[in-house]
A and B are shown apart, each in its own frame.
Chain A
């Protein structure tokens, strides 16, 4: 019920804001801030009631929804989704605070769209029914489309449409994949269901896995976005209003990586392992390409957008290692990216509100006029660059270690031995991406903040207002906390990750014996005892 309450909160918020008297933007904004903080507080209850030692789904609720189709309203939360849910509720007040200046017309509608978007994101993170997940996944589409299209600037209609079309191109094959799973699983077991917890107990034959994984991966890879499917992102980010960019970078992109971790990899382990070398190659290409393209941008917002491509490459790389360190680091990095890139977009948005431009050469020497803002900006930037002591470092380090120590136990004997070295090469290449990240971020900061004030318009800039500072403070607090004392976060993520990897390896072993025919239960294919597989998992990890 807790999760239903969390899902209902933004929905109720949207209704309340929608029913407010018209044309009063201030009222709508204040209501939005209050309600989103309230939502966050409600969502904290899952944190306090979360059982650290339980690796299974918690707060589970399953209510029959469309019985004729075996569709349940099935939601649940484990260590993997816990922090992502909290990140979503946590960022929402920040986002609304940042909208005070950047959104000036149709404020009420804007807040309503944000709340509906929040419902979609939260729902997608907690959904344990593939149909439900798909519905929430698509529900996010419309508000984000409107946010970019109505409140964006420049070629907003183009960017909004590009966003929708890319997402649809990805999600419809996924829908076909989901239906295919539903039909084949139903035909094989007699149990026609979309329930994730049921479907995940079966494995599909190897060639079916290859197709199904491809269908799912396309949807998620577009959302992440992985090179070469990333071209919608710079457009969407540049044209979106600041709050839209923050929510897009902070949470929406995580749905792609979350989809890989929760659905694509566990459901089709054999295909995931087969594609992993190529996908991790693409991830590394994304890391380096994103960093290099970011460096040559003359538009600050585009720079940060490309930095997202680079950072999410790390997240992909970590999870594809499929060991405890890599996967945990990957999840941790998702949170970090949400905070730091959210912060960067806030900073650039604050500059845009003052100067109405994102172009780097329009700025310079801003630090002299805006010292407080400069310090906050610097912190977000360093967090994003992975400076030790701040959150980004922990995640990147874990990902690199995880990738490097990847033993490929369970792939050995099937994959050419050259791939054993592949992961080490990947880790090495990714490490250069860390360096490149520092380069373009410092380049950004230098262009904007340091040097003499060339442009006279910059001489009169106001420093950050109290409201802006309050939008930054929570982010900065968590950047330090997650960088200096990550234990409370990691100890909640790890149990679920360990269980997931054990199950993953079991399913992989099962897949090896399942070349053809309808989907089969994992238990029928392998008699592997839990303890044996646990040892395997430990060996593969740290």
Chain B
């Protein structure tokens, strides 16, 4: 173990440090901003995130070989982590741009909002860069605490407070499970370093405390990515949170959870006996995956509130992604199998982040203070009052449903073909296929409302024409179609970003 901190460590971790610094800057600007000299915080944080994405892109190209042993072996910088950095920062960027009009419309206080979004983003980045459980917990908690605050940030709204307290209690319990699991693993292995644990895990598969610890950690991660039966908080937290934050949670928090799951499963708990043994996690996760996609879809069918519907839809997508995660870990040990199953998960998370932020962006855009339009019924006739919003929403829904030529289709294809390489997963793929059919039903419901029902004139208000909102939505639509039609380069990025062999 290398306990020295070198100057180059700071260069390697520049994206994280930059976002943390910029978060402080934004918070400082919020504190200094007064009524006479207002600082426009939304564009400020967006600017920082845009620069951050550029830095991360540079960092990605520099790190063909991962840089390990940074900050006393606490942090690792590899393409896998930087790929996720870009997802988080893009999600945060979109969220900041979408939030501006939303906050003004709904009379929010801007002061802390953007800074906390940036802090959440920094926490996620810390998580995926963690090479040690200590760093992982630090990042996870930074993210979680920031997100709790953001969910509760709608002061005076009952749903916001209710969603926040439910999310907080469940999240805190999940953290406790994670920490307890880490404590047990530390007790058995004598280390919190992922690489060290990975080495020792091969001989520890029969150690009960190690298995229990691992299962505790897995359960906590299952909570973060909202797998059934750890999903109860999702609909309430998603409904209660301010809409742009809901999009941020669905896109970034989910991606962060899966990134950790991939790293944990791909490295730490990848020993064959740990995966397949009688108490191995693969058996459990296969069932969780099937359950998650089915329960998510079945509940989504009967939601009248669009945010709850999308919340359940995000649960079912977690089920699909989990299928890819299992495929990665259980495909017989070969470099190609490992890589071909990780790439799909990365690709899926990337396109899902864009799509889901877009979908919540539409909800953000068309809602107003007096008519939030959260119920599906109030979407009737949207196609004639807001044709562009309706068109964009249709693209997002098609992508979520996995219909070509959208990115969602290709991602699903890529994911399922990875899972099909493992014959034992065939039945889950078939369940996933059935779920895809079911999901078409509820994804088309907003389309039915918008296009097939006549307009309800009482709700036909003009959307707040924030250019930033329009920009984000247009960009999201273009990205989804572009990825769907020409997936070669994003595919190559995802494939180049997979974790090195186990």
**Taking beta carbons and an 8 Å cutoff, which residues of A are in contact with B?**
65-69, 134-135, 138-139, 141-142, 145-146, 149-150, 156-157, 160-161, 164-165, 168-169, 172-173, 175-176, 179-180, 182-183
A142 — which chain B residues lie within 8 A by C-beta? 394, 398, 403
Contact B487 A66 (CB under 8 A): yes
Closest to B410 in A: A66
Known: A145-B444, A160-B452. A172 touches B488 (CB 8 A): no
Q: Is B448 part of the binding interface, using a Cβ–Cβ cutoff of 8 Å?
A: yes
- Taking residues whose C-beta sits less than 8 angstroms from the other chain, chain B's interface range is 20 to 34
Closest to A105 in B: B384
Q: Is B437 part of the binding interface, using a Cβ–Cβ cutoff of 8 Å?
A: yes
Contact B433 A179 (CB under 8 A): no
B441 — which chain A residues lie within 8 A by C-beta? 161, 165
Contact A164 B440 (CB under 8 A): yes
Known: A68-B488, A146-B451, A179-B413. A172 touches B437 (CB 8 A): yes
State in angstroms the CA–CA spacing of A142 and B451 once bound together.
Answer: 12
**Contact indicator per residue, chain B 208-233, by CB within 8 Å of chain A (1) or not (0):** 00000000000000000000000000
**Contact indicator per residue, chain B 426-448, by CB within 8 Å of chain A (1) or not (0):** 00011001001100110010001
Contact B420 A176 (CB under 8 A): yes
B433 — which chain A residues lie within 8 A by C-beta? 172-173, 175-176
Determine the main DSSP class of A at the interface with B.
helix
Contact A157 B404 (CB under 8 A): no
Q: Is B168 part of the binding interface, using a Cβ–Cβ cutoff of 8 Å?
A: no
Known: A134-B404, A139-B404. A179 touches B488 (CB 8 A): no
Contact for B403 among A68, A141, A165, CB less than 8 A: A141
State in angstroms the CA–CA spacing of A145 and B445 once bound together.
Answer: 12
State in angstroms the CA–CA spacing of A157 and B488 once bound together.
Answer: 37
Q: Is B491 part of the binding interface, using a Cβ–Cβ cutoff of 8 Å?
A: yes
A68 — which chain B residues lie within 8 A by C-beta? 488, 491-492, 495
Q: Is B69 part of the binding interface, using a Cβ–Cβ cutoff of 8 Å?
A: no
**Contact indicator per residue, chain B 460-502, by CB within 8 Å of chain A (1) or not (0):** 0000000000000000000000000011100110010000000
Contact A168 B398 (CB under 8 A): no
Known: A165-B437, A168-B436. A149 touches B416 (CB 8 A): no
Q: Is B409 part of the binding interface, using a Cβ–Cβ cutoff of 8 Å?
A: yes
Closest to B440 in A: A168
In the complex, how many angstroms separate the beta carbon of B488 from the nearest chain A beta carbon?
Answer: 5
Q: List 6 A-B contacts (CB under 8 A).
A: A149-B452, A157-B448, A161-B448, A173-B433, A176-B420, A176-B433
**Taking beta carbons and an 8 Å cutoff, which residues of B are in contact with A?**
394, 398, 403-405, 409, 413-414, 416-417, 420-421, 429-430, 433, 436-437, 440-441, 444, 448, 451-452, 486-488, 491-492, 495
Contact A157 B440 (CB under 8 A): no
A135 — which chain B residues lie within 8 A by C-beta? 404-405, 409
Closest to A131 in B: B413
**17 more A-B residue pairs beyond the given contacts A69-B491, A160-B452, A168-B440, with a C-beta to C-beta distance below 8 A:** A65-B486, A66-B486, A68-B492, A69-B414, A149-B448, A149-B452, A157-B452, A164-B444, A165-B437, A168-B436, A168-B437, A172-B433, A172-B437, A173-B433, A176-B420, A176-B430, A179-B416
State in angstroms the CA–CA spacing of A138 and B402 once bound together.
Answer: 10
State in angstroms the CA–CA spacing of A135 and B409 once bound together.
Answer: 9
In the complex, how many angstroms separate the beta carbon of A341 from the nearest chain B beta carbon?
Answer: 26
B492 — which chain A residues lie within 8 A by C-beta? 68
State in angstroms the CA–CA spacing of A141 and B394 once bound together.
Answer: 13
Contact A138 B440 (CB under 8 A): no
State in angstroms the CA–CA spacing of A160 and B445 once bound together.
Answer: 11
In the complex, how many angstroms separate the beta carbon of A253 from the nearest chain B beta carbon?
Answer: 20
Q: Which of A67, A150, A179 has the most CB of B within 10 A?
A: A179
Closest to A173 in B: B433
Known: A161-B444, A173-B433, A176-B420. A156 touches B452 (CB 8 A): yes
Closest to B435 in A: A172
In the complex, how many angstroms separate the beta carbon of A290 from the nearest chain B beta carbon?
Answer: 26
Contact for A183 among B421, B452, B488, CB less than 8 A: B421
Contact B448 A182 (CB under 8 A): no
A175 — which chain B residues lie within 8 A by C-beta? 413, 416, 433
Which 4 residue pairs spanning A and B have beta carbons closest together?
A: A135-B404, A179-B417, A172-B433, A149-B452
Contact A176 B429 (CB under 8 A): yes
Known: A68-B495, A139-B405, A161-B448. A172 touches B420 (CB 8 A): no
In the complex, how many angstroms separate the beta carbon of A112 from the nearest chain B beta carbon?
Answer: 11
Q: Which of B430, B436, B452 has the most CB of A within 10 A?
A: B452
Contact B409 A149 (CB under 8 A): no
State in angstroms the CA–CA spacing of A141 and B451 once bound together.
Answer: 16
State in angstroms the CA–CA spacing of A332 and B82 once bound together.
Answer: 58
In the complex, how many angstroms separate the beta carbon of B238 from the nearest chain A beta carbon?
Answer: 25
B436 — which chain A residues lie within 8 A by C-beta? 168, 172
B487 — which chain A residues lie within 8 A by C-beta? 66
State in angstroms the CA–CA spacing of A43 and B338 once bound together.
Answer: 47
B404 — which chain A residues lie within 8 A by C-beta? 134-135, 138-139
Contact A182 B417 (CB under 8 A): yes
State in angstroms the CA–CA spacing of A157 and B403 once bound together.
Answer: 19
In the complex, how many angstroms separate the beta carbon of B340 from the nearest chain A beta carbon?
Answer: 10
Closest to A146 in B: B451
State in angstroms the CA–CA spacing of A156 and B448 once bound together.
Answer: 10
State in angstroms the CA–CA spacing of A179 and B412 once bound together.
Answer: 11
Known: A138-B404, A161-B448, A175-B413. A67 touches B488 (CB 8 A): yes
Known: A68-B495, A179-B416, A179-B417. A150 touches B444 (CB 8 A): no
State in angstroms the CA–CA spacing of A165 and B486 once bound together.
Answer: 27
Contact A176 B416 (CB under 8 A): yes
